[in-house]
Every structure is written in structure tokens, then in C-alpha cells.
Structure 1
């Protein structure tokens, strides 16, 4: 238990470090942070996945297939809304007239941001949101280099990491939403089953005992569903 609590504290610490660095870390910083724990490669991957779920961009980490990676040739089909957005957005980029050297640098990379966004399986996340996240990361990445000294692949890595972090964060939110919907459904089914079986309205204590949870948890589930336990 002590080791588990210590590791949880370290996770909180790495998240705090990420916040200090504008939600961007690289794999070397993560490995150094957990140096004393001597984590295995698999454990480091789990830490990176956790950071992605918290919308932290992790440079130098390529998530293994299963959640947000897929082969480029298996690109996700665009919805009609996304197709219209993409056509309009690419037209705007083409018609853009840079007025400063900084704008010229941005204009050169913006089509690449779009291309990277199209490679990722968005699983319901709107393409425009992914591109916008990539562009924000692009601005930050370019600021790290003097004009003409930027490293193209390093910048693209930053962009990919940022977009993956957004996607993982959105997917985690969806998983939590589904989990809560399931809990509400289970609660409603249990109340209905117990009420029908006993021929009367049950109280929160009985339901909590039946489901093996605390009364507070029952009330929390109801609150999240926009309801409350009504005593007669």
C-alpha cells in the first residue's frame, strides 16, 4: 500500500511538472523523473499513456497500436461537415498572404499540420479541433527555434504529440461518460428490481447494501444524473 501511495504521489508530481512546462514533456524528462523507481519500459509507457490522458504532449513517445494509432493507409473517413471544413480551411491557407517572416514560417507548416491530423484516428473528435490543437503546438514549437534553424521532424513530433494528447484526453472523457451512464443504468435497474420484488419503495441504505457501495456513492451517482434520492 505504501509503495502504491508513493507511486501515486510521483504521478501527481510528474503532472505538476508538466503544468510548469505548458503541458509538454519529453520522454527523457519522464525517465529522469522516475529514475529512482527504476521503471521498466512497459511501466514508462503506462506513465506516458497516463500523461496523454491528462492532455500532456509527450515528445519522443510513440503510442503503440490500440487506442489512437493506425496505419496511414487506414485513414478515418471524413464526415460531410469535416469535408466541408477541410476544403474551406485548405482554401484559406492557399489564399493566405504572409506579411512577416513569422507568418511565412507558419504558412509553410500549416498544411503539414493538416496532413498529420488526417493520419490520426479521431474516433468522433472533430477534425477542426485536432488541427487547431496542432496549430497551437506549431506556434510554440517554432518559438523554440530561430528563423531558418528549425528542425522539421522535431517540430512535427511536437505537433503529433500535442494532437495525440488531445485525442487521448477526449477518449478518456468519453470512457468516463460511458462508465457513468452504465452506473446510472445499473442503479435504476437495481431500484426497480428491488421495488418490484419487495412491493414497496426501497431506501438508499438497502440499495447501497445490494450494490455493495456506500450510501454516499449512491447519492453521488444520482447527483451526476441530475436527480436526488426522494424519501417518502
Structure 2
């Protein structure tokens, strides 16, 4: 009788009663994309609402909305570029400090790594051996020290150009939404209000993918916040329009 062949070991994370499937807590590219679009949507709708409240003509609304779209998108791109570039430059500078320390005092850096693993619960002998083996390759040692001490991957720093382009594109998409009805010939705020409300709810619902909240809560919350921003700006424009 042939011996029974045991079943293959179950894949990690799929054993009975165990589920290692998690949300993407970092948000990946979804988070900056949705928040960039939401920022453009809210800011340009508020701007358009204020202009409409001051009794501006549809042509003035279009010109103002386009100016708000362009100015906001360029501002977002410039700010994001500066922020990410500065962060990357600081990370590279600190990685170079770590590289010099590894060249100057490799034994001290190896002890530092061992102490870090001991603090995390490894037995002293095991921690020392792990640190010794990891320190044999200078580049690997640098990567590990950068991850453990600085919280960065020296080979995977964010691109400021990509961040700037992402912010520009998605802000512009969001800012275009409340302006679209006027570009198509609308003469009142109502179509822009409806389109903006749908966009706000949809964006808030999408954001719920990277939170623990249900989609309807995220959508409703963003709708309320956007409506408050637009309503207050409309009232401000109304008051200013009456005084000018």
C-alpha cells in the first residue's frame, strides 16, 4: 500500500482561523490622489460660491474658476515638490552620516545593531550573531541601519517630481468639477452645487478604503465639510458684494 503523501503546508496567513489580510494603512497612491482631488474640489467650489454670492456674471465665474484651478494646482505642485525634495535631501544626508559611521567604527555600529535587537526581545547571543551576519555586507548593513534608526529605505526615497505631478493633476481634476457646468453654459450655481455634492460624497467614500469607517460615513462627512466651506464662502461673498 502506497504511503500517504501529506498535504502541503498551508500558506502563511491562510491557516484555518487566521486571516492576515489587512488594509493598506499607508494608503499608497490612493490617499494623496483622493485628497488632492478633494482639496481642488472644495477650494474651487468655495471660490466659485463666493464669486456667485457677490452677484458676479457667469463669465466672471468662469475666469475666476479657471484662475483658481491653475493657481491652486501650481501652488500644490510647488509645495509638494519642495516638501518631498527637502525630506529626501534630509534622508540622504542622514544616510551618508550613517555610512561614514559604518566605515569609521564598524564594530561599534555592529554592537549598536545587536543592542537594538536585544531591546526588541532577542536573546543576547542570537542578537549578536544576527548583527554580525548582517554586518558582513556593508551595503546591507547601511540599509538595515537606515531602516532601523532613520525609518527610511535609502534605495526607495520618494520622487519630488512624481509627487508634484500627482498633486497638480488631481487638484486640477477636483477643481474642474464645480467649474464644469459653467464651462458648458450654466448660468446658476445649482448644477455646480449638485456636481460638487456628488464629487464630495464620492471622494469621501473612496477615502474610506484606507480607514476603518464605512463608505457612507466617509462620504457624508466630506459632503458636510465641503458644504460648510462653500456655504460660508457664499455668505462672505454676499456680504462683500453688498458693500462694494
Q: Judging by fraction of residues, say which structure has more helix.
A: 2
Task: Find the structure with the greater CA-based Rg.
Answer: 2
| TM over 0.5, shorter chain | no
Q: TM-score, normalised to structure 1's length? A: 0.28
Q: TM-score, normalised to structure 2's length? A: 0.27
Q: Highest relative contact order (Cα 8 Å, sep 6+), 1 or 2?
A: 2
